[in-house]
Amino acid sequence: MTAFLLDVDTGIDDALAVAYLAALPDTEFVAVTASPGNVDADQVARNTLALLELCGRPGVEVAIGAREPLSIPLLTTPETHGPQGIGYAVLPEPYGAVSARDAVELWVEHARARPGELTALITAPLTNFALALRMEPRLPELLAGVVIMGGSFYYQGNTTPTAEWNTHVDPHAAKEVYAAFEGQPLEKLPIVCSLDTTERMELHPVHVRQLAEAAGAKVAEEVLPGQPEGQPSTSDNTLVRHLSDALRFYFEFHRRYDQGYLAHVHDFFAAGVAAGTLEFQARPATVDVETGSTLLMGTTVADFRGLWGRAPNARIVADNNPGQAFRELVSRVGALAARLG
């Protein structure tokens, strides 16, 4: 059983990450919190609650913390994830309510109550996590492990030429988070899934077709480059229909940026790393984040050689296995979709 504290900015690939974790038999969602990023925090929370219910996980506490990055104004990205953050998918109104509790307090409370038991997964800007570390500097010791999706190391950014989205939205938070882990033992250092390896996670139309087949959908699910943009899915399977509508938007976005009719599903990979189900290798490094330069704002720098003379504060994923990851995704989420109908 993996018990998760999750912080998301749902988000098409966050949605896939949540669906994947919900599909695993041994996942406990202790709390899922919303950071502003792809869309604003209130929309993130609504999306996440609706999605958890759709995935057969009602009753999970979903809470909001910060509504703005630590030191700069919030920039959202409707062109990447759609106006509501889930591409073309329109999720049903959640029947539960977003928690009135503060996300940051919730993280600290749960981590203190279950020392050494909870795995933290952050697939969003690090705003809430940085605030939680301010409130409880012992979080690195209290958490069983931490996995972060963010950064790009000597690999081009997806927001500026050198900066990745999550880090660029709140570079000050990211800088604080990495600094907070300096000097921790290796096994406590966050595992960082950066663009260098998450962009290898290319989800293609064939994976959507396979997902529908694994779900036992009656109609073949064809999301094809020649179809009109925004064509709605007619799948008889509810989860497949929503994921297909979300992914079609992501395919079109990636095509617009000359990356092909595919989707980089960064957050799904990070979820699999956190769940211990996806293959990867990581290297220790000292990570720092640029917050002072307009040109390089949000750029992550990794010192793999100890040139700064500082202790490592992260383990950066250096290798992964997309084939294994997509087989795992299709079979797990397909089985969940089949169960839910």
Radius of gyration of the chain (CA): 19
**What single string gives the DSSP state of each residue in 30-82?**
EEEEE-SSSS-HHHHHHHHHHHHHHTT-TT--EEE--SS-SSS-----HHHH-
Given the rule CB under 6 A, which residues bind ligand BDR? 11, 13-14, 38, 80, 123, 149, 158, 164-166, 266-267
Q: Does 123 bind Ca ion (CB under 5 A)?
A: yes
> If contact means CB under 5 to 8 A according to the sort of partner, which of Ca ion, ligand BDR, none does residue 27 touch?
none
Which residues have a Cβ under 8 Å from the Cβ of 102 and sit 6 or more positions away? 63, 64, 65
Question: Which residue, 29 or 165, is less far from ligand BDR as judged by CB?
Answer: 165
CB of 13 to ligand BDR, least distance (A): 5
* Residue list 12-41, contact with Ca ion (CB under 5 A): 14
Among positions 2, 4, 5, 11, the unique one binding Ca ion when judged by CB under 5 A: 11
Q: How many residues bind Ca ion (CB under 5 A)?
A: 5
For 259, the token pair is: 């990356």
Tell me the two tokens of residue 155: 């690999």
Residue 255 or 310 with smaller CB distance to ligand BDR = 255
Nearest-CB residue for ligand BDR: 165
* Binding flag, residue 194, Ca ion (CB under 5 A): no
Query: In whole angstroms, how close is the CB of 55 to Ca ion at the nearest point?
Result: 17
* Runs of H (alpha helix) within the chain: 12-23, 41-54, 78-81, 103-113, 127-135, 139-142, 165-169, 171-181, 195-198, 205-214, 238-256, 266-275, 322-340
Q: Which amino acid is at 60?
A: V
State how far the Cα of 265 lies from the Cα of 12, in Å rounded to an integer: 8
Residue-by-residue DSSP string for 2-26:
EEEEEEE---HHHHHHHHHHHHSTT
Q: Which of ligand BDR, Ca ion, none has residue 164 at its interface (CB below 5 to 8 Å by kind)?
A: ligand BDR
Cβ proximity to Ca ion, 81 vs 315, nearer residue: 81
Instruction: Convert residues 36-75 into a mask of x (bound to Ca ion by CB under 5 A) and - (unbound).
Output: ----------------------------------------
| Residue type at 107 in one-letter notation | W
Which CB sits closer to ligand BDR, 84 or 235? Answer: 84
CB nearer to ligand BDR: give 73 or 226. Answer: 73
Which residue carries 């296995």 as its tokens? Answer: 321
Q: To the nearest whole angstrom, how small is the minimum distance from the Cβ of residue 35 to Ca ion?
A: 9
208 or 271: CB nearest ligand BDR:
271
* Residues of this chain that bind Ca ion (CB under 5 A): 9, 11, 14, 123, 267
